[in-house]
Amino acid sequence: MDELLSKENLEYRKRAREVADTVVRKVSAHYDREQTYPWEVLEALKKAELTGVWIPEAYGGPGGGLLNLCIVVEELSKACGGVGVAYAVNALGSFPIITGGSEEQKQAWLPSIAKGEKLIAFGLSEKDAGSDAGSLACKAIRDGDHYVLNGEKKWNTNGGVAHYYTVYCQTQPDKGIRGISAIMVEKGTPGFTIPKVEDKMGIRCVPVVELKFEDARVPVANLIGKEGGGFRNAMSTLDLARPGVASQAVGLAAGATRLALEYAANRKQFGQAIVSFQAIQFMLADMDCQTEVARQMVYNAARIVDQATDNLRHPEAIANAGGPAGFSKYSAISKVFATDMAMKVTTDAVQIFGGNGYMKDFPIEKYMRDAKITQIYEGTNQIQRLVIGRAMLRELGNVEK
C-alpha cells in the first residue's frame, strides 16, 4: 500500500506514528481514567509540526489537505481513539471557516489554530436537534453591531479547552433551515458558560460538554458567510469531516488487531499458542481484511476532495466534488463502512483476549469503548445510509435522463 502514498503522505505518517508510539501510547490509560485533556500530547504534536495539517499555506498551515489529515488521525487512533478525535475535532471546527469564512476571518483565526496555539470546537447539536440538525432552537438576534445569543448546545467535543467555537444559531427563526447562520464565539465571552461536562463511555481524554448562552453578545463581524447560509455550511463541513471519523475508526481497528495478534501469539491453551488455532487465525484474517478495505475507502474519499479542491485551497469546489451525487456520498460511504467495521473488529479483539479482554488491566476493552462513538457522532450511521440512498436515487435520475 505504501506505493500508493506520496513521499509527503509517508512523512506525515512517520511523524504521527512516532508521536503515537513515544507519547500517546504511554499516557492513554492515564487520561482515560482521569478524563482530562492530554496537553502533553498537544505539545508533542506541535513539536512534530503536525497541528493544522489540513489548513492551507495562505493561513499558516502546511496545506496538507484531507488525506494527510486522515493519515495522522489514523496513526494517533491506533494508540488512543480519544487522542485521535481530540486532534481531528480541530479540523471539524475550522472547516466552516475554510469553506465559508471571509479572507479577513481566515487570516484572523486560522493561523493560531494551525500552530496549535488555539483549539476550536464545532457547536451544532442540541438536546432536541441531533440528527435533525434543521430543528435548532439556539437563537442569535441582531442588535446593532452585535448578535445576542440565547440557547444551549449539546455534546460539544473539545468544549472547555477550546478558544474558538463555531456555533450554529437561528438568526431568522421564522425561516427554518434557511434562517440558520454560523457565528464564531470566543472563549470568555460574557454570557457564555459551560454548565456540564459529560461523563463518557469512551474517548474520555477529550471533553464533551454542554454550551449555554444567556444574552451573550458577539460582534456581527463574527458571522461566517451570509445570514441564512449556516445549514449549508454545516452540511459541507460534515461532509469534509466524516472521513476523519472514518480514519479514527480505521486506526482503532488496526490498533486492536495488532494487540489481538500479539496476545494470541503469546497466550497458550492446550499446550500451544492460540494463534495456531484456525478459528483464531480466521478471525484475525477477517479483522485485517476489513480494516484494509475501510482504509482504502477513507483514502479514496479524501483524495476526491483533495483533487477537487487543490488540498482545500479552493473549498468552493467541494459541493461539486465526486460527480453528480456530490462528495457527500463518498464521505458517507467511508464513514458508515469504517465505523461499523471498527465496532466489529474491536469486539472480535476483545473476544480473542477472552476473559482478560473484559478487564481494565488489559488495553483492549478501551478500543471497543472508543469505537462505539464513531458510529454515532458527525452523523449516525442510520443517517449516513439515508445520504447514500438519496445520492443513489439522484444518480438514477441522471442516468434515466
Dihedral-angle region of residue 98 (phi above 0 means left; psi in -120 to 50 means alpha; beta otherwise): alpha
13 to each of 18, 81, 299, 364, how far by Cα in Å?
A: 8, 16, 13, 23
Cα separation, 200 vs 236, in Å, equals 28
Query: Cβ–Cβ contacts within 10 Å for residue 36, how many?
Result: 14
Cα separation, 19 vs 26, in Å, equals 10
Which residue is associated with the grid cell 453578545? 217
For 30, the 3-state DSSP assignment is helix
Closest to 283 measured CA to CA, from 349, 342, 339: 349
Output the nine-digit C-alpha cell for 46: 506541535
8 Å CB contact between 350 and 365: yes
Query: Cβ–Cβ contacts within 10 Å for residue 199, how many?
Result: 8
74 in active site: no
Catalytic annotation, pick one of 74, 378, 395, 400: 378
8 Å CB contact between 259 and 349: yes
Residues with a catalytic annotation lie at 378
